[in-house]
Structure 1
Amino acid sequence: MTSPTVALVRAEFGRGRARLAGAATLALTGAACAVAAPLLVAGAIGELAGGRSAWADLIIVAFVSVVGAVAGAGSSFLVTSVGELAVAGTRMELVRRALTTDLTTLRTAGTGEITSRIVGDAGQMRTYTDVLASGLPVSALSACAFTAVMIWLDWVLFVVVVSTFLVASLSMRTFLRSTRRAGLRQQAALGQVTQQFQSVMASVTTVKAFGAESTMLERIRSDVEEVAASGVRGALSQSCITPLAGVAQQVAVVGVLAVGGLRVSSGALSLAHFVAFLMYLFQLVGPLVTIAQSLGRIQLAHSAIERMDEVLRFPPEASGVAPASRAEPSDDEPALSFQDVRVQVNEHHVLRGVTLQVPRTGMVALVGPSGAGKTSILNVIEGFLPLTSGRITIHGHPIEAWSVAERRARVSLVEQRPTLLNVALRQNLTLGATTWGGGDESVWCALEKVNLREKVESLPHGLDTVVDEATGLSGGEMQRLAIARALLRDADIVLFDEPTSALDEENENATTRALQSLAAVKAVVVVAHRPSLIRNACTVYSVDRGRVVTRYDAGDGREKGCIRNP
């Protein structure tokens, strides 16, 4: 199976083919200079041995060396620039896939794990791109060129060199495998550290209030120690590669000196060629070490690629199909309709045959004990939970007929735990507001409805204040900001999950009035426990154990009929 990460890198290489072609040209120039230098030195030695001046040859050697160094630097820069673009493209695709996959998959993977793959594992791709685009090909080409010239100079000495490096390469293979295994363990442990730390920081006030800092520290410590231990094992394997190449070089030098001395004394090899051979031998070690290290880095990169591939293979949300007709339904069709809806998640029956209707305007309340399935009803409407059986319609169209984007354009959600992004208040409030024209009048109006205008005006930067931990917004204020955001969005159906749970009486009354005003023109569904919301609902459904057990009119408290589910 083709790796989606590798496919992304190849695509980026395709877009950067001009730079890579330039890098290849410069790399070949550098390699050619490296091959030519020892032969030029041999020529200079021949000139000196003949009693002639070698200044011209030495100047050429110096010029060739400088050209080779400049060409190598240029090649490295071009490859690095393409590599950075490949890493950026991979990271953006990882972010896109994380944002477009279904919630069940995201929660199973964990945000910390996904973050570590976007940040840490994607960073490993820089090594991968550098090695594949430049390091490995250039080193292999240089090694082949040096090998060819060495065979031409004296094949007997080359046999001596090959025999020593062959033994070293067999040993390197073991260390390369160990490097990859250590890399996989380290990246997995790093993901656990990220996951644990994000979890602790998200609940840092609770941790401090219960004096659990030491307990949380110990939970993270084991994963941190595993990251370190895996890194040490990988470093040990990686560190053995260069010494092995060095030992092979030393043994080869001793063998070449011994055999070469005999061949020079016998006249089978000239002194100039013997010096050139030694120079090539010393130059050969560099590419061979680079190749060995590159293979080790590729092993580490492959462990990161495997982890990124898991994210890139996350299943996307079911997109649905756009309805054939875009005409508005007639007024007598409900905004929402559930007919015997059942939802099962991991053998757990979340909803058990729910039947209900939400009119095109007005407020419908869902009441019941915690864990009864009220929030699950909202999550099914949003598409956060999969429908097992039954039928749901939005404005008369089956929910499957709406694409995810179209469905969510018509439905807005305010969660029980309000979430604000780490951006300016204006951007938070106009998130997804398709009808916002760019002016602030409607924003201030929405803030006034939830009794927050004075608070925002008092902030140092007003609507440009960036929401972060230092902003000092209370839980109730964040909840009202989330409600104001829903008021600004041009959605036909607005879902509220306990919108007044964190509010005092004054702000609860203001928010209730805002919801009443909204319900006059839109369909509003509220999960509620507060009497103020329940008595303002036109219809109340009582939910228990995943079933709607009672439907009644909250206005006069009279039961309008029971819905019994099998």
Structure 2
Amino acid sequence: MTTSGFEAYKRLLGYARKYWGAFALGILGFIINAQTEWAGAQVVKYIIDAIQNKNQHAKDFFPVLIVLIFLLRGVGTFLGNYFMSLVARNVVYELRRQLFDKLLTLPSAYFHRHSPGHISAKLVYDVEQVTGAATEALKTIVREGTVVTCLLGYLFWTNWRLSLSLLLIAPPVSFIVRKASKRFRTLSHRIQNSMGDVSHIVNESINGYTVVKSYGGEAFERARFETASRENLRQSMKMVVTASLNTPLVQLLMAVAMSFVVYMALQPHILGNVSAGEFVAYITAAGLLSKPMRALTDVNEKIQRGIAAAQSVFEMLDVDGEQDGGDRDAGRCRGELEFRHLDFAYPGGEPVLRDINLHIPAGKTVALVGRSGSGKSTLVNLIPRFYECAPGQILVDGQPLQSYTLESLRRQIATVNQKVVLFDTSIAANIAYGALADAPAEAIESASRAAYAHEFIQKLPDGYATRVGQDGTELSGGQRQRLAIARALLKDAPILILDEATSALDNESEYFIQEALETVMKNRTTLVIAHRLSTIEKADLIVVMEKGRIVQTGTHTELLAAGGLYAQLHSRQFADDPDAVSA
């Protein structure tokens, strides 16, 4: 549920609570600065009266007053700007850190519903808009608000009857600001969405550049980007029009009020027998209201942008993270797996798995076979609890997955997927990633040798220190796959999941990799999704899936003898390629 604008801004400012000392010093600085505004008007009165009264002593003291006022203004401005910026930047830092922390703990369903482009836009674009509301806007509100308050106080102290006329513009100004605020916030949400669309299209074009180039998709992607960018431009210009009308309207009302004040002040019965200095000082102070009022009006756009961005950010922060209700530490489990009456459907989708019942003894190798979309990858992805299954249960060593803490459960599982994920850092850091970061160099090299990656790593310019580029673009597909296998070998987990783990390797590389995998599979529970006979035929058990159900189980020989779907898949695939079978 989206919070209101007031609640979002209040919550945003709540982050400043821990920096209350710096906040107070910033307020003090702006209060000092504000005093110099009305003091300037008073100095004008002082010098005019000194000239009229021919008071030379007062004239001589005038330069000292000027220097003193600007000195105080400088001190106040420094204190206010520095400490308010200190608070604001720390608030934004804390907000950005919390947002990234939340990103790392969000359930897989969130990433299923939101595109990477829209998620990254929250961390990049939205947080920057919050920065505007929490830095420049906050400083302007405090600084100019204090100035307006002090000037109004001075005006009412000088002549409260005349000053009441200034309040006549309060209702229309309030109406304009309220309408503009609502418009700003609506347009800000639209701009955020359009920026998410732009980011989404850019990410897709970058990630799929080979498909774009191979299939002549440049014109299509260009048109998509043009549409999204033009929508962003259209909404941004609406924001400009609203801001451009808002400020002049408020300024016009201020001018009308000031004209009325000047007119009234020039009437003899209003000011009475006041001195010329007092009259000029009053008019000067009233004129000084224009600048801070304009600044307060202009800052409304930044505030509304920041509020809209804060609502977007808080919406993500308020998403429930992964449920980790387990209190059992798995230690190092044996690896026994059991699926009981398991059903599963992705959020808002049709059932993908239906009544799965399967027992896998510890240390056994099970191959999952079936047509594309039969639910094989979904089934293995439920084991690390990337999604919660209901109804039904998955048990590890006889205990439900939910009874283990997420950290200890995922420590038991090593995964190698068809799509290898590598980070733009060194080869050694990619193999010894995350919790493996403290692994000694000897262990990293041993895992690389077992994955037949050591030889090509040694030939790279910096060996294990070579950076792989974004998503491993500096390496071939087979090299990336071997690094992923080395990472899984280094983890040395009792449960191993191989989802098309050898798909990117040539026949010779696969032969050696298969030898390494057969070694590492010993005494480990291994689930294999593969399309090559060399892996499937040696499995202890082959599970054949169709439309989310298990339709056959048995060894390679048993299933061929029994006929059915496995025999059909086998005969079709091997008619053209004796080294393959459908996954």
TM-score normalized by the length of structure 2 = 0.89
Deviation at 1:466, TM superposition (A): 2.1
Task: State percent identity of aligned pairs.
Answer: 24
- Residue 483 of structure 1: which of 475, 482, 485 is its match? 485
Deviation at 1:288, TM superposition (A): 1.6
CA contact (8 A) 1:553 1:559 kept: no
Residue 82 of structure 1: aligned partner: 87
CA contact (8 A) 1:161 1:252 kept: yes
Structure 1 stretch 257-266 or stretch 58-67: which is displaced more? Answer: 257-266
Counterparts in 2 of 1:548-563, with a 5 A limit? 548-554=550-556
**Residue deviations 1:177-221, cap 9 Å, x none?**
222221111111111111121112110111011111110111121
CA contact (8 A) 1:33 1:64 kept: yes
Residue 271 of structure 1: aligned partner: 276
2:303 & 2:524 partners in 1: Cα distance? Answer: 57
Residue 581 of structure 2: aligned partner: none
SS in 1 for 2:135: helix
**Residue deviations 1:30-52, cap 9 Å, x none?**
11222222112211211111011
Structure 1 residues 472, 412: closer, same or farther in 2, change over 3 A? same
Deviation at 1:225, TM superposition (A): 1.0
SS in 1 for 2:175: helix
Structure 1 residues 249, 308: closer, same or farther in 2, change over 3 A? same
2:249 & 2:131 partners in 1: Cα distance? Answer: 26
Deviation at 1:240, TM superposition (A): 2.4
1:18 & 1:155 partners in 2: Cα distance? Answer: 35
Structure 1 residues 448, 557: closer, same or farther in 2, change over 3 A? farther
Counterparts in 2 of 1:394-409, with a 5 A limit? 394-409=396-411
CA contact (8 A) 1:429 1:488 kept: yes
Deviation at 1:233, TM superposition (A): 0.9
2:44 & 2:157 partners in 1: Cα distance? Answer: 16
2:142 & 2:452 partners in 1: Cα distance? Answer: 66
SS in 2 for 1:413: strand
**Residue deviations 1:124-151, cap 9 Å, x none?**
1222223674322332232122112112
Residue 191 of structure 1: aligned partner: 196
Residue 524 of structure 1: aligned partner: 526
**Residue deviations 1:375-421, cap 9 Å, x none?**
11111112123212222111221112112111111112111211112
Letter in 1 for 2:191: Q
Letter in 2 for 1:304: A
1:13 & 1:562 partners in 2: Cα distance? Answer: 67
CA contact (8 A) 2:130 2:307 kept: no
Deviation at 1:486, TM superposition (A): 0.6
2:110 & 2:339 partners in 1: Cα distance? Answer: 25
CA contact (8 A) 1:27 1:138 kept: yes
Counterparts in 2 of 1:103-502, with a 5 A limit? 103-130=108-135, 133-164=138-169, 166-263=171-268, 267-323=272-328, 335-345=336-346, 346-434=348-436, 437-469=438-470, 471-502=473-504
2:284 & 2:368 partners in 1: Cα distance? Answer: 84
Residue 27 of structure 1: aligned partner: 30
SS in 2 for 1:371: coil
CA contact (8 A) 1:5 1:90 kept: no
SS in 2 for 1:316: coil
SS in 2 for 1:228: helix
Deviation at 1:264, TM superposition (A): 8.4
1:9 & 1:265 partners in 2: Cα distance? Answer: 46
Letter in 1 for 2:421: T
Letter in 2 for 1:48: I
CA contact (8 A) 1:337 1:357 kept: yes
Deviation at 1:14, TM superposition (A): 2.1
Deviation at 1:58, TM superposition (A): 3.5
**How many residues get paired?**
558
CA contact (8 A) 1:27 1:75 kept: yes
2:135 & 2:349 partners in 1: Cα distance? Answer: 47
1:432 & 1:144 partners in 2: Cα distance? Answer: 54
1:341 & 1:408 partners in 2: Cα distance? Answer: 20
CA contact (8 A) 1:364 1:540 kept: yes
CA contact (8 A) 1:551 1:559 kept: no
Structure 1 stretch 124-133 or stretch 159-168: which is displaced more? Answer: 159-168
Residue 574 of structure 2: aligned partner: none
Letter in 2 for 1:225: R
SS in 2 for 1:389: coil
- Residue 14 of structure 1: which of 10, 13, 17 is its match? 17
2:37 & 2:173 partners in 1: Cα distance? Answer: 24
1:327 & 1:128 partners in 2: Cα distance? Answer: 48
CA contact (8 A) 1:414 1:486 kept: yes
**Residue deviations 1:339-389, cap 9 Å, x none?**
221112334121111122223223211111111111111111121232122
Residue 75 of structure 2: aligned partner: 70
Letter in 2 for 1:46: D
Deviation at 1:536, TM superposition (A): 2.4
SS in 2 for 1:16: helix
2:438 & 2:300 partners in 1: Cα distance? Answer: 55
CA contact (8 A) 1:5 1:308 kept: no
Deviation at 1:433, TM superposition (A): 4.7
Letter in 2 for 1:190: M
Structure 1 residues 557, 543: closer, same or farther in 2, change over 3 A? closer
Structure 1 stretch 244-253 or stretch 454-463: which is displaced more? Answer: 244-253
1:265 & 1:328 partners in 2: Cα distance? Answer: 90
Deviation at 1:556, TM superposition (A): 7.3
Deviation at 1:544, TM superposition (A): 1.4
Letter in 2 for 1:421: F
CA contact (8 A) 1:97 1:316 kept: yes
CA contact (8 A) 1:450 1:507 kept: no
1:92 & 1:260 partners in 2: Cα distance? Answer: 55
Gaps of 5+ in 2: 566-583
1:511 & 1:306 partners in 2: Cα distance? Answer: 50
Gaps of 5+ in 1: none
CA contact (8 A) 1:264 1:270 kept: no
SS in 1 for 2:267: helix
1:433 & 1:86 partners in 2: Cα distance? Answer: 30
**Residue deviations 1:211-240, cap 9 Å, x none?**
111101111211111111111111111122
Structure 1 stretch 170-179 or stretch 145-154: which is displaced more? Answer: 170-179
1:409 & 1:249 partners in 2: Cα distance? Answer: 67
Deviation at 1:562, TM superposition (A): 10
CA contact (8 A) 2:9 2:307 kept: no
Structure 1 stretch 239-248 or stretch 54-63: which is displaced more? Answer: 239-248
1:290 & 1:167 partners in 2: Cα distance? Answer: 18
**Residue deviations 1:132-173, cap 9 Å, x none?**
743223322321221121122223432443335654443343
CA contact (8 A) 1:500 1:508 kept: yes
- Residue 507 of structure 1: which of 490, 493, 509 is its match? 509
